[in-house]
Amino acid sequence: MQVYQGKSVLNGIAIGKICLYKRDQQQVVRCKVQDIEGEIRRFQEAKEIAISQLGALYEKAVKEVGETNAAIFEIHQMMLEDEDYLESIENIIRTQGVNAEYAVGTTSDNFAAMFAAMDDDYMKERSADVRDISERVLAVLSGTDKGVVMTKEPVILVADDLAPSETVQLDKENILSFVTVHGSLNSHTAILARTMSIPALVGTELPLDASIDGKIGAVDGNQGCIYIDPDEETLESLRKKQAEEQEKKELLLTLKGKESITLDGQRVLTYANIGNSKDLAMVMQNGGEGIGLFRSEFLYLESETYPTEEEQFKVYKTVAETMAGKRVIIRTLDIGADKQADYFQLAKEENPAMGLRAIRICLTRPEVFKTQLRALFRASAYGKLAVMYPMITSVQEVRKIKEIVEEVKQELTGENLAYGEVEQGIMIETPAAAVISDLLAKEVDFFSIGTNDLTQYLLAVDRQNEALDAFYDAHHTAVLRMIYQTVQNAHRENIWCGICGELGADTKLTKLFLAMGIDELSVSPGRILPLRKIIRETNVEEEREKLLANWL
C-alpha cells in the first residue's frame, strides 16, 4: 500500500479503480508556409470554431453547475478575442512565415510563462487558462478532440492536471473522484469540483505511470490523501466512514420541508444566497425557506451594457414566481471594489473597497438606480419580494433612498403598472451602520448583516490581500459584539435581523447566533440543512448565558 498526500478540494470518501488520464499532447512542428494570408485565415477559422465549442461547454456547465461557475468558459471565449494574444499569433505567422500551429504554440508558451511568473495567485492561474485555450485551437487545427474524458465504469480519475473544460465534460455518473499532481485550491477546476460535489485532491505528488493505472485506490478527502492498493484494514475503515457520511446526508434530507425551530421554540429562518435565477433549483433541493440574498450585480457584471428595466424585470419576476410566496430579498447593485463593469466607467481608485461602490453609485447615478427600482417594484406584484440596500453609512442615505423609491412608486401608479407591498431593508456591513443601528432601525423594515465587509472594515484588513489572511479574524470579539449590538437595536424597534455573510454558515457560531436572537441565516444552498439540524437540536434558553459569556 502506498499513501500520497495532497490538498483536499472537497471532503468525502471515494473507493474504486484508478483511471490514469493523459491528455493527448499536440505535437507542434515548425513549418514554412507560402500563403501567409491563407494561414492567418486558417487560424482565424480555427479560433471561431474554438469559441463556438466553448459556447456549447458554457451551456452545458450552466445546467450542471450554475451560471456563476460556468463563467470560466465565457472568460475563455474572451481570452480568444484578446488583442495581444491574437496579434502575437498573427505577427509570428507574418514575420516568420510559419504555420499557425507553431505560432499558437509559441504564443501559448510565452503568455503562460508571463502569467506563471506573477506574484498574484489569481493571475498565476491564468497561465493554465492560456494553455487550455491554445490546446483547444491546436486541436481544431489538427482535427482532433479536445479534452474529452471517456470511461465506461466508475473510476477515480488521476491526471497531471485537469483544465476546466475537461472537468465539466466529466461523466459524473462514472467519476468517483479526481486527483491531480498540479493545480491549486483557487483554480476554476477546484471551484467546479466543489460545485459538482466530487471528492478531489490537487497538488498530489504521485507517479503517473503503470504503477497506479488500473489499481484499486481510495481517496480520503477529509485527510487529503489517496491510498494505492489499500490493505483490508484501511479499506474497512474507509468504507465505514463512507457509510457514516452517506447516513448523515440521508438524515439531513429528512429535514427538507421542516421548520428551523429550536427545542425551546425559537424560530430561525434558513434562507439561501444566490447569484442568478438558475441557482433556484439548488435552493429547492436543499429546502430553502426563502432567498436571503439575491446578488443583482451579476445582471450587470454579465452584461456589456446597462441591463434594461425589462431585462431585469423578467429575472426578478421569475425568482419571485418560482419561490411561490416565500420571501425573496434582492440586493440592489453592488458594483465597485472587486466587482467592476467597464461600461460604468468608474475612475481608478487607490482604495476601491472604500471608494465609489454600491449605494454610492446608485445615489450619484439616480437614473441607473431608478431603472432597477422600477423593475424590482414591478416584479413585487408576482411574489413576496423585499429589497435591501448595501454599503449604508448614514440615516441621510436611507432617507434619500426612500425619496427615490416614492418617486418610482408614483411613476408606476401613473402608468397603471402594478406593484406589491415591498419590505425595505439595509445591509449592516460598515462599522458606521452598526454603531448607529439604533437610529437606522427606525427607518427600515429589516437588517441583514454582511459579515465579510463588516469584518474587513472593522479590523482594517483587506480581505482580498492573501498576505493578511492571518489577521482576518471573523471570530474577533469586536465583530461578534457588533453583530450582537445590531441584533439588539433591531429588536428594540421591532424589526428583524439576519446574517447573509459567510459567517452565517460557520457552524461553530450557529448556537451563539441563536443566543444573540438572530432571526434569519442566509447561506449557500448546500449549507442550509446542516444549519437546520443544529437549530432543531439546540435549547437556546438553557445555553444563552454561557454562550454569550464565553464568546463576548
Residues with catalytic annotation? 188, 500
Cβ neighbours, 10 Å, residue 123: 13
Q: Whose CA is closest to 54, among 31, 79, 17, 35?
A: 79
Q: Using alpha carbons, list the distances in angstroms from residue 275 to 31, 279, 316.
A: 48, 7, 12
Length of the chain in terms of residues written: 552
Three-state DSSP class for 274?
strand
- Torsion 52-54-60-65 (CA) sign: negative
d(CA 263, CA 540): 8
Cell output for 104: 499558437
Give yes or no for a contact between 380 and 410, defined as CB atoms under 8 angstroms apart.
no
Contacts of 83 (CB under 8 A, 6+ apart): none
- In whole angstroms, give the CA distance from residue 1 to residue 468: 40
- Indicate the helix (H) or strand (E) that contains 281: helix 280-285
Please state, in angstroms and rounded to a whole number, the distance separating the CA atoms of residues 516 and 127.
46
How far is 260 from 527, CA to CA, in rounded Å? 13
Q: Cell numbers 472593522 label which residue? A: 458
Scan for cell 424560530, then name that residue. 267
Measure the CA–CA gap between 198 and 91, rounded to whole angstroms: 42
Distance between CA atoms of residues 66 and 229, nearest Å: 36
Are 162 and 183 within 8 A, CB to CB? yes
**Sequential DSSP letters for 163-217:** -HHHHHTS-GGGEEEEEESS--TTSHHHHHHHHHT--EEES-----STTTTTSEE
The DSSP symbol for 348 reads: P
The DSSP symbol for 413 reads H
Question: What amino acid is encoded at 161 in this protein?
Answer: D
